[in-house]
């Protein structure tokens, strides 16, 4: 599996080189009719377009040259193209070009909302829907990791729904994806989905440099984020703000993880986690292991899908009594 991954990493380099050599120059309106904007972020915009000659509807990702390096654009496009054959990953059309002001590539148009949009605050979404979603994203991540790649931005906003029951979902946005083993010297800011080792190389407000050694990009980063996503969509809230000692909610969970033989008694589980069954807590303990080397692989979540993850109302009441 690792040998395959390394080979695929070299393939990405070759794809990037070939794409750079053949990247055509044209203005968007020459080939596409712009219908409307359907997404916007730090990267740029996503436009709903139709092909002028074939009429095919597409999602066109448009990134300004002023804030996008050519290598970054090529990496995202080539990684996305390489992985788009998986049914739970957004597909690509193999169309990439540059205009005077933008880099662009065309993706499959997914009509629907992202997972974040359907999470009811402080409630989450039904456990049955969560499990359908989890199985599909686990499959997508397993595929990505087998190719020697790491997504690095697993979050509900990057999981697109083709229906509200999560019967079919797709993982999107490979803007931060990297080859396994790539060294990260620092990142700016933190998010609740970032693993503790990633927060160690975060350049926080007021800091001029990071003292921690560079971090190797590994699948365990995605495993951690995946665990946090499962928590979020089951509960409707974040387990913590950031994985640092200064965050009390994270520290409570970290203290629980450090107990040598982790007990399952109600009083030992951190308050935010008391709604989960012992089986779910066992799963979270593996996905969110503090030591990245001891973290399970994403596919291990499949073992727990047949188990109950949330306690019944009666069990919750008994636990509070």
Annotated binding site for ATP: 61
Q: What is the DSSP secondary structure assignment for residue 146, as one 8-state letter?
A: H
| Number of neighbours of residue 98 by Cβ within 10 angstroms | 17
**Catalytic residue set:** 153
Residues tagged in the binding site annotation: 61
Task: Measure CA of the first residue to CA of the last residue in the chain; give whole Å.
Answer: 50
For residues 298 and 286, the answer to whether their CB atoms sit within 8 Å is no
Q: Which of 127, 126, 69, 119 is nearest to 98 (CA)?
A: 69
Q: How far apart are CA 136 and CA 127, in angstroms?
A: 14
Work out the angle between the directed axes of helices 127-146 and 2-22 (0-180°, nearest 10).
80
Distance from C-alpha of 78 to C-alpha of 96, rounded to nearest angstrom: 10
Helix axes 70-83, 2-22, angle to 10 degrees: 130
Structure tokens that stand for 98 in this block:
């540059």
């Amino acid at each position: 599996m690792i040998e395959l991954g390394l080979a695929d990493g070299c393939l990405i380099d070759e794809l990037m080189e070939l794409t750079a050599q053949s990247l055509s120059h044209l203005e968007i309106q020459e080939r596409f009719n712009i219908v409307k904007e359907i997404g916007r972020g730090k990267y740029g915009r996503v436009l709903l377009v139709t092909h002028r000659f074939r009429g095919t509807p597409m999602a066109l990702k448009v990134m300004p040259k002023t804030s996008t390096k050519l290598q970054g654009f090529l990496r995202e496009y080539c990684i996305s193209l390489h992985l788009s054959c998986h049914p739970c990953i957004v597909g690509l059309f193999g169309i990439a070009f540059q205009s005077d002001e933008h880099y662009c590539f065309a993706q499959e148009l997914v009509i629907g909302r992202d997972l974040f949009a359907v999470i009811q605050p402080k409630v989450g979404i039904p456990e049955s829907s969560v499990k359908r979603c989890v199985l599909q994203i686990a499959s997508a991540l397993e595929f990505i990791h087998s190719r020697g790649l790491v997504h690095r931005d697993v979050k509900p906003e990057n999981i697109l729904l083709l229906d509200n029951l999560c019967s079919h979902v797709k993982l999107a946005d490979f803007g931060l994806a990297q080859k396994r083993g790539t060294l990260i010297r620092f990142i700016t800011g933190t998010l609740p989905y970032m693993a503790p080792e990633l927060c160690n190389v975060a350049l926080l407000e007021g800091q001029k440099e990071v003292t921690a050694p560079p971090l190797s990009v590994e699948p365990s980063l995605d495993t951690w984020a995946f665990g946090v996503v499962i928590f979020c969509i089951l509960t409707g809230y974040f387990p913590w703000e950031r994985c640092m000692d200064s965050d009390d909610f994270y520290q409570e969970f970290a203290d629980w993880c450090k107990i040598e033989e982790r007990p399952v008694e109600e009083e030992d589980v951190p308050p935010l986690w008391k709604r989960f069954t012992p089986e779910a807590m066992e799963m979270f303990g593996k996905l969110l292991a503090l030591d990245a080397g001891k973290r399970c692989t994403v596919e291990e979540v499949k073992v727990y899908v047949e188990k109950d993850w949330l306690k019944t109302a009666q069990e919750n009441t008994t636990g509070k009594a």
